[in-house]
Copies of this chain bind each other. A is one copy, B any other.
Amino acid sequence: MTQSGILDTEQAPDLERARPADDVTRVAVSTVIFSLRPCADGAAVVLPLVRRTRDPFQGLWALPGGWLDAAEGLDAAASRTLEETTALSPSYLEQLYAFGDVDRSPTRVVSIVYWALLRPDEIADAAERENVEWFDAASLPRLAFDHNDIVDYALWRLRNKVGYSRIAHGLLADEFTLAELREVYESILGRRLDPANFRRQAEHSGTLIPTDRFRTGSHRPARLYRYNQDVELADRGPLTGSSTK
């Protein structure tokens, strides 16, 4: 609690060198990947976790991630550590929040958490990795570190965001029926939606474009829709283009 303030900010490498090692704050990157898995009830929100093979929290499940390399940007670190641990390379990857409570780890670690959405077919294409399993977000075991809190926060953001953005598209194929779209919303929100109300709202949202194609099968044919591509899926505003730095 010194009076250093901005005057010292982003300088003082000499001071850093003199610090004891237990005073060092390190930066890690973790990613919450959400997808949907069909279940008796419709679909469940699922996420991949990695089993820890050493202490702290040996044997517990944790979010995929790793240390930030001094020579790479945050977005690059998120992509790299995710690919290394799970072999997943989602196209939609967005910074979620930085978690930095003092007691969240035995040593001082600030974790920059990213999140991503994967369509079911993107999961099927990924190579299997040892110590990686998919879990139902609604019934997680006790995770390592504060990772239960992180998943809770990501689920909350997902539920909020689905209300004002076309984020559900990240969980769907390019073309989908309104029933399939409603199922995504129901899985995220954890409750049933009235089919007629949902259809009316979806058709008036301006974000859906009807196609000339229909899904046929055991039910009556259902029209396929696609999202209006003029609306960015992950609108990062002025950050666009800085992701590879």
- Partner pick for A28 among B10, B67, B71, CB 8 A cutoff: B10
Q: Which residues of B contact A72 (CB under 8 A)?
A: 1, 102
A69 interface contact, C-beta 8 A = yes
Query: Is A7 interfacial (CB-CB < 8 Å)?
Result: yes
Cross-interface CB contact of A112 among B9, B66, B110, cutoff 8 Å = B110
Which B residues lie within 8 Å of A153 (CB)?
A: 237-239
Encoded as 1 (CB less than 8 Å from any B CB) or 0, chain A from 23 to 56 comes to: 1111110100000000000000000001011111
Bound complex: CA A200 to CA B82 (Å): 48
**Interface membership of A109, Cβ < 8 A:** yes
* Least CB distance, A19 to chain B, in whole angstroms: 8
User: Which residue from B24, B30, B112, B235 sits with its C-beta under 8 Å from A70?
Assistant: B24
A101: chain B residues at CB < 8 Å are 73-74, 242, 245
Tell whether A89 is near chain B: CB-to-CB under 8 Å.
no
Q: Are B25 and A70 in contact (CB under 8 A)?
A: yes
Contact A10 B84 (CB under 8 A): no
Is A216's CB within 8 Å of the partner chain B? no
Quick one: CB contact mask for A212-240 with B, threshold 8 Å, 1 for yes? 00000000000000000000000101110
A1 lies within 8 A of B62 (CB): no
Taking the closest CB of chain B, its distance from the CB of A88, in whole angstroms, is: 12
CB of A10 within 8 A of CB of B109, answer yes
A239 to B23, CA, bound (A): 26
Q: In the bound complex, what is the Cα–Cα distance between A238 and B50 (angstroms)? A: 23
Answer yes or no: A206 CB below 8 A from chain B CBs.
no
Q: In the complex, what's the smallest C-beta–C-beta distance from A221 to chain B, in angstroms? A: 36
State in angstroms the CA–CA spacing of A9 and B70 once bound together: 15
Task: Please give me the 10 A-B residue pairs with the lowest Cβ-Cβ distance, nearest first.
Answer: A156-B237, A74-B100, A5-B85, A5-B84, A101-B245, A152-B238, A10-B105, A6-B50, A98-B98, A17-B21
